[in-house]
């Protein structure tokens, strides 16, 4: 058994340093900012330089305040980017999943991206960070279900990189206030059981979906951009036995998002 797999089995996670090409991470980060920049222009009237961090992120905060619905939808749209999804099925990712024991990996949920900042949160709520949880509760896939998490900016304690409890993947599925994203483990967890992870761009955290983890506290004025990739193992016997359950529910809006849209003339223009 490889050292990586041993460590993964023992601690429930491994951090692989310099694993991803920085260019690949930057491509995802850039594509996301470019998509946001289009809506920032529409909503605030500002053409932002996506490489000017404070200008761009202040514009993100302004966009959030001015058109929350568009912000949320743009946040979802960036999670559909080609660059992100290309990485999710990259042979390097497949190889590392196999190395930690997923003999036949399959995507467990759509690749996700988070932009954590207290300035992207309504009414002082804590919706910008996740309380202690186990991802398995939301995915309910194979017992060896695995998550890959990485920041797209250098991330340590100050910007709120993930905190994990080593070995907690072996203590079973914990009671939680809800299975959704804003739930949290109800048992009393000792804060000092968590260790703070730290990353340079290119490093990745690979962890068992049973590992207890939580968002760190981003006390900076910057956004902590991160990616989460989730996988199951098609060969895991209980996953087969349970009929490959799929707990992530994607469904279309029942109503038209833009009433009375489109007109016939608009369609004819598109196809002219």
Residue nearest to ligand AKG (CB): 215
Nearest-angstrom CA–CA distance, 165 and 175? 16
Tell the smallest beta-carbon distance from residue 11 to ligand AKG (Å): 17
- Residue closer to ligand AKG by CB (options 43, 111) is 111
Tell the smallest beta-carbon distance from residue 63 to ligand AKG (Å): 21
- Residue closer to ligand AKG by CB (options 116, 233) is 116
Nearest-angstrom CA–CA distance, 189 and 175? 12
Cis peptide before 177 (omega within 30 of 0): no
Tell the smallest beta-carbon distance from residue 42 to ligand AKG (Å): 27
Tell the smallest beta-carbon distance from residue 98 to ligand AKG (Å): 22
Q: Which of 3, 216, 245 is nearest to 137 (CA)?
A: 245
- Residue closer to ligand AKG by CB (options 43, 205) is 205
- Residue closer to ligand AKG by CB (options 65, 131) is 131
The structure tokens listed for 233 are: 């193992």
- Residue closer to ligand AKG by CB (options 43, 199) is 199
Contact residues for ligand AKG (CB under 6 A)?
Answer: 114, 116, 129-130, 135, 162, 213, 215, 226, 228
Tell the smallest beta-carbon distance from residue 23 to ligand AKG (Å): 22
């Amino acid at each position: 058994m490889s050292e990586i797999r041993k460590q993964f089995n023992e601690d429930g996670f491994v951090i692989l340093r310099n694993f991803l090409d920085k260019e690949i991470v930057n491509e995802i980060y850039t594509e996301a900012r470019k998509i946001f920049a289009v809506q920032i222009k529409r909503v605030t009237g500002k053409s932002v330089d996506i490489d000017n961090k404070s200008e761009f992120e202040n514009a993100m905060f302004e966009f959030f305040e001015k058109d929350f619905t568009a912000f949320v939808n743009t946040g979802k749209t960036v999670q559909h980017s080609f660059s992100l999804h290309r990485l999710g099925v990259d042979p390097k990712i497949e190889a590392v999943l196999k190395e930690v024991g997923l003999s036949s990996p399959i995507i467990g949920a759509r690749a996700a991206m988070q932009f954590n900042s207290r300035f992207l949160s309504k009414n002082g709520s804590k919706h910008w960070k996740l309380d202690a949880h186990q991802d398995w509760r939301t995915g309910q896939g194979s017992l060896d279900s695995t998550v890959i998490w990485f920041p797209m900016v250098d991330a340590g304690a100050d910007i709120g990189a993930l905190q994990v409890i080593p070995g907690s993947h072996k203590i079973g599925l914990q009671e939680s206030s809800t299975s959704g994203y804003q739930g949290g483990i109800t048992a009393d967890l000792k804060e000092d059981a968590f260790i703070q992870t730290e990353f340079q761009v290119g490093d990745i955290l690979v962890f068992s979906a049973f590992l207890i983890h939580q968002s760190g506290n981003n006390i900076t004025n910057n956004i902590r951009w991160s990616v989460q990739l989730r996988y199951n193992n098609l060969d895991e016997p209980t996953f087969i036995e349970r009929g490959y359950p799929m707990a992530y529910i994607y469904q279309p809006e029942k109503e038209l998002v833009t009433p009375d849209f489109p007109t016939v003339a608009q369609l004819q223009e598109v196809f002219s």
